[in-house]
A and B are shown apart, each in its own frame.
Chain A
């Protein structure tokens, strides 16, 4: 079991390094299609990290939605629209400053959030137990998304119980957000066709 943990670590490093390397390649390439290709590999490596953590469902979801869905549409859009001038993108100095500010603040936020996770400073062995206990179980996550935390049913504290409605609210907000995006996309597509007709 110790050796397995070791392998887990080696594979984790492998996927993490792959994800980081390809993420940096996305940054330093100027060709849009190559960027999309590197992004594919970076997101694929992230899916590998999820699978390694036992979250097979999230990993497959990552592949399906981001790699198979979003990125295919992205490349599709590039192929439809890109003329010679847009295939290679030059990044200006101002863009770098903005990107570093936005990305840096997000990184800071994530690091702070990760540090304050309960059990972040505990031994890796505890993590191992956690990983294997959660393997193969996505039902809890699904039920939490629709508003039931079955892992906390025994909570006795009355004030804590009120906060245990699961992730229904964020889930709904994200869904409505996506709906708005869809409506907006449909509107944009229609408007353009209308404009063409009048021109």
Chain B
């Protein structure tokens, strides 16, 4: 998109911007992408909080918000937001003022940065990288920093206890979640989320969760650990309002408090989208409509065309739908299960999740090595090996032979990502 913006500037604004300046286009491109991505945690939080209120209401046999903005209380979250903005921004006297004020932004930055590498459709990704899975996990792990610093800097015992629990919990759960994520990576042979998702193109039988019985079980462990790693009930020990007042955010009020929750809902979306991409085919629907009528992109290097763009748009909606289903299940779990004790949380991680996932990992390894059948063999659409070939930069030999072709491929990638940007 950077280049097309530059062409546009050259054509119409040459009186304002010299034609040999190329930076305006690129700066504008970066801005547009960043603004689009920041909508996911910001607007997403608005909708998810409304969903949380409605769903929790229904689960508890009441209606939830019904007045603000019409019958279903659509604008409840917006009203909440207005209330939070007008609240006083307190800093306790014993707090470390600088860290106290910065901590919410640190949490939010981590949750936002994970979205940079998370694709929305073929080529619609902020920064296409071949270690996207790893990057997303690494950045999500940083969210704990905001919570720990908030707990420490508040100068309150409740907050400190919450922060210590959070640190113990997140550091523990990074182990099983990493092992779970390795399974799809192992089956696909790449850490590139775009490639992993494209490998699952076709009928739903090609989704990795149906690859073999072990992988199907790994998903459930992944989801459990994901709930724990984003600090949601029944693993919300850092808040534990029945024991610790409000845990790490006891001393926060107003906008800073709400930023923590934007980060929480943002990372809920990220782990759900990651689950959708790793186990549920990403943007590839249960029925490959756009593959059957030949609109979808089959390889990354294809030039941009309108039909492919439309296919991508529906794919993007498909992925977001799957991720929202994941978030809904998290909300459902939260209002159904009671909170665990901290020792039970750690026991669940080390005595159940880690051994189980290690066993399942060996199972998947055996299944892949012996080349046992998967449902995709019965209803074949596309072999995984075929998908790989379209991704030249995935194989090191191709990259070494033609190092100069790579930037071009990337620019097409970016251009596709950008065309998504103008939705």
The interface of chain A, by Cβ under 8 A from chain B, is: 3-4, 6-7, 31, 33-34, 37, 40, 56-57, 59-61, 63-64, 67-69, 71-73, 75-76, 79-80, 129, 132-133, 135-140, 150-151
Contacts and interface: CB of A to CB of B under 8 A. Distances in A.
A71 B106 CA distance: 14
Contacts of B131: 56-57, 60, 138
Interface string B71-108: 00000000000000000000000001011001000000
A89 to B, nearest CB: 15
A34 B103 CA distance: 12
30 contacts: A3-B23, A6-B23, A7-B26, A33-B153, A34-B98, A37-B99, A56-B130, A59-B135, A60-B131, A60-B138, A61-B138, A63-B135, A63-B139, A64-B134, A64-B137, A67-B145, A68-B141, A72-B144, A72-B170, A75-B149, A76-B167, A76-B171, A79-B151, A132-B403, A133-B403, A133-B406, A136-B129, A136-B399, A138-B131, A150-B396
A75 B396 contact: no
A109 to B, nearest CB: 29
Contact of B141 (A34, A64, A139, A140): A64
Contacts, number: 112
B32 to A, nearest CB: 16
A59 B131 CA distance: 10
Interface string B391-405: 001001001100110
A159 B115 CA distance: 49
A150 B98 CA distance: 49
Contacts of B26: 3-4, 7
A80 B164 contact: yes
Interface residues of B, number: 41
Interface in B222-238: none
Q: Is the interface of B mostly helix, strand, loop or mixed?
A: helix
Q: Give me the 8 closest cross-chain CB pairs, A-B, nearest first.
A: A133-B403, A68-B141, A64-B138, A3-B22, A63-B138, A139-B396, A60-B135, A56-B129
Contact of A68 (B99, B129, B142, B407): B142
Q: Is the interface of A mostly helix, strand, loop or mixed?
A: helix
B145 A72 contact: yes
A79 B396 contact: no
A39 to B, nearest CB: 11
B63 interface: no
Contacts of B404: 132-133
Contact of A76 (B134, B135, B164): B164
Contacts of B152: 33, 75, 79
**Most chain-B CB neighbours within 10 Å: which of A6, A67, A137?**
A137
Interface of B: 22-23, 26, 96, 98-99, 102, 129-131, 134-135, 137-139, 141-142, 144-145, 148-149, 151-153, 160, 163-164, 167-168, 170-171, 174, 393, 396, 399-400, 403-404, 406-407, 410
Contacts of B171: 69, 72-73, 76
Contacts of B407: 132, 135
A28 to B, nearest CB: 14
Contacts of B23: 3, 6-7
A57 B407 CA distance: 18
B396 A76 contact: no
Contacts of B393: 136-137
A133 B400 CA distance: 7
B329 to A, nearest CB: 26
B94 to A, nearest CB: 12
Contacts of A136: 129-130, 393, 399, 406
A79 B163 contact: yes
Contacts of B399: 133, 136-137
Contacts of A63: 135, 138-139, 141-142
A11 B22 CA distance: 16
Contacts of A135: 406-407, 410
